[in-house]
Chain A
Amino acid sequence: MSRPLILGACLSAGFVAMALLSLVWTPHDHTLLDIPGKLQTPGGTHLLGTDHLGRDILSMVMVGTRTSIAVALVALVIGLCLGVPLGLAAAARKGSWLDETIMRGNDIIFAFPLLVMAILITAVFGPSAVNAIIAFGLFNIPVFARVTRGAALPLWEREFILAARVAGKHAQRISVEHILPNVMNLLIVQSTIQFALGIQVEAALSFVGLGVQPPTPSLGRMLADAQTLVTLAPHLAVVPGVAIILIVLGLNLLGDGLRDALDPRLRRRLA
């Protein structure tokens, strides 16, 4: 176990634990307004201070983390559930019309920058957390399709796959039995990356008003509220910003650490 891996795992687990904890307990009610007690600096009864409406920032960060994680996680699952089977199918029938269609479709989605896709979707269906999830989920599909196909293609040339074909197994069964387990490492690593990206995307979309809508707190929404007040009370921007950085940092370190730990070539070198 490398140090970055441990650090990343601890950070990620810490934030997930905090998000789960917010379901049953927060230091204060995050919806409770307290106008006289607004814009308190960190310390005292409100550990991280209060916002412009006097709400407890620590409680909001806990609940906001939960929202951000939920958005990123659902979009990740969409990407995995649709992208991986598409990638496996494309690799199994390399060069066929199926492969061509999947890859060209991917290229088209890729040509839409994530934010532009979100804008297009919100322009039509209106801004909401669900639409932010759909936009990022759509973005995740070609990412996973590409990663899966790219990793699966060289495997199809490997002799153990030929041996399985000689043993009379169908492409579908080979994909599930032999290909998927061998691309799993890569998918795990890519998942941590897309998860981290999801946290950032939620923050960005909510920041410009295309994501999570009030009154639901999210890290991005807290930053949007802080924007006009940043000169008066910098901690309003600093606290959620640092939370985002730490979650993303933790997930990225976890991903890098896992990649090194799971790579059999590296493992052999260490052994």
Chain B
Amino acid sequence: MAMQRYILKRTGSLILSLLVASLVIFTVIEIVPGDPASFMLGINAQPETLAALRAELGLDASKVGRYFAWVGGMLTGDFGTSYTYRTPVTEMVADRIGVSIPLALYALVLSVLIALPAGLYAASRRGQAGDLGVLGATQMGVAIPNFWFAMMLVLVFAIHWRWFPAGGFPGWEQGFWACVQALTLPAIALALPQAAILTRVMRSALLEVLGEDFMRTARAKGLSARQTLWRHGLRNAMIPVLTIVGLQFSFLFAGTIIIEQVFYLPGLGRLIFQSISARDLIVVESVVMLIVFGVILINFLVDLAYAAVDPRLRNRT
């Protein structure tokens, strides 16, 4: 019962966030001066052709009407038609998303796989050489810009040693491993700074938990220090770690936009930059909404994960 109520409440706030975000994006794009139809047809366009195009793009409707048409379209999977390419935005996005999402997920998995053991190691050796080493490494990791790191990776692993391709994406129809290979360097570049942050969070969350009273109760039961950490410490430390993992996914998702530039990957990022230079605002609008939707959805899932980890939340709605 409590869990259902919690989910219901979270779902409500998810919908509200999406609604407000869509309004904000629509309003911002509406501020842009100029008429996309005349932009597309050039200066010498016939008024009749212009009017026809405007009708076709739905630009003749009122602002309110256009907003609802846009939102309604998105709900049914129709993101409108690109002003420049005259193809449905949905198709363009579907192609690109097959690069961006796997890349972000790959990076997230790498970051978690690096950070959890590193944080656990550092916390269990608090103040010793190993801990200080991990802390120093994370300071460096946080300071390195991911796109610069990407350039260095290309220089070393693609150009010097030729272990990985320097850029480009073969497409999933060329086989899974070829794609994984193409995404490996970008994923490492994205994951490293995030792993550094997550390691620090993991370490401090564990240290915080180590000072809790219930850890002492566990020791008094006869659990060894290590058992106490594994059985009682980890799950409690996961609560702050989860928050950061959720935040990181949005960082990573947005980070792909830049990393795609370095590796010439045909993802959402490249689509956005192409659309901005072509002033293809319907594409920008829809892709931005899609990314924001992804971020809000991830935060929603993190909220649900919280409740799974922490029974106290289920009652405190």
Q: Do chains A and B directly touch (beta carbons under 8 Å) in the complex? A: yes
Contact surface of A with B, Cβ cutoff 8 Å: 104, 107-108, 111-116, 119-124, 196, 200, 203-204, 207-209, 223, 226-227, 230-231, 234, 237-238, 241, 244-246, 248-249, 252-253, 256
Q: Does B103 contact A (CB under 8 A)?
A: no
B181 to chain A, nearest CB (A): 20
Q: 15 more A-B contacts (CB under 8 A) besides A116-B292, A121-B28, A252-B142?
A: A111-B21, A113-B250, A114-B254, A115-B255, A116-B291, A119-B276, A119-B288, A120-B25, A120-B28, A120-B284, A123-B284, A124-B29, A248-B142, A252-B139, A256-B139
Q: What A residues does B292 contact at CB under 8 A? A: 111-113, 116
Which parts of B154-199 form the interface with A (CB within 8 Å)? Answer: 154-155, 159
Q: How many residues on chain B are close to A (CB under 8 Å)?
A: 42
Chain A residues near B139 (CB-CB < 8 A): 249, 252-253, 256
| A6 to B: closest C-beta gap in Å | 14
- Write the B67-87 contact mask toward A (1 if CB under 8 angstroms, else 0): 000000000000000000000
- Closest Cβ–Cβ distance, residue A67 to chain B (whole Å): 16
Q: List 8 A-B contacts (CB under 8 A).
A: A104-B20, A111-B299, A116-B288, A223-B148, A227-B151, A237-B155, A244-B143, A245-B148
In the bound complex, do residue B151 and residue A124 qualify as a contact, i.e. CB atoms below 8 Å apart? no
Say whether B155 contacts A119, CB under 8 Å: no
- Contact flag A252-B143 (CB < 8 Å), given A111-B292, A230-B154: yes
SS class of chain B's interface: helix, strand, loop or mixed?
A: helix
In the bound complex, do residue A234 and residue B288 qualify as a contact, i.e. CB atoms below 8 Å apart?
no
Closest chain A CB from B52 CB (angstroms): 26
Which of A246, A249, A253 has the most B CB atoms < 10 Å from its CB? A249
From B144, which residue of chain A is reached at the shortest CB distance? A245
Residues of B within 8 A of A (CB): 17, 20-21, 24-25, 28-29, 31-32, 139-140, 142-145, 147-148, 151-152, 154-155, 159, 250-251, 253-255, 257-258, 261-262, 272-273, 276, 281, 284, 288, 291-292, 295-296, 299
B288/A120 in contact, CB under 8 A: yes
Is A237 a contact partner of B152 (Cβ separation < 8 A)?
A: yes
Q: In whole Å, how far is A135's beta carbon from the nearest beta carbon of chain B? A: 12
Residues of A within 8 A of B152 (CB): 237-238, 241
- Measured CB to CB, the nearest residue on chain A to B20 is A108
Interface centre among B29, B148, B154, B255 (most CB of A within 10 A): B148
State A245–B140 Cα separation when bound (angstroms): 8
Residues of B within 8 A of A238 (CB): 152
With both chains docked as a complex, state the minimum distance between the C-beta of B286 and any C-beta of chain A, in angstroms: 12
Q: Does the CB pair A113–B143 fall under 8 Å? A: no
Contact A208 B258, CB 8 Å, known A120-B288, A248-B143 = yes
B253 contacts which chain A residues (CB < 8 A)? Answer: 113
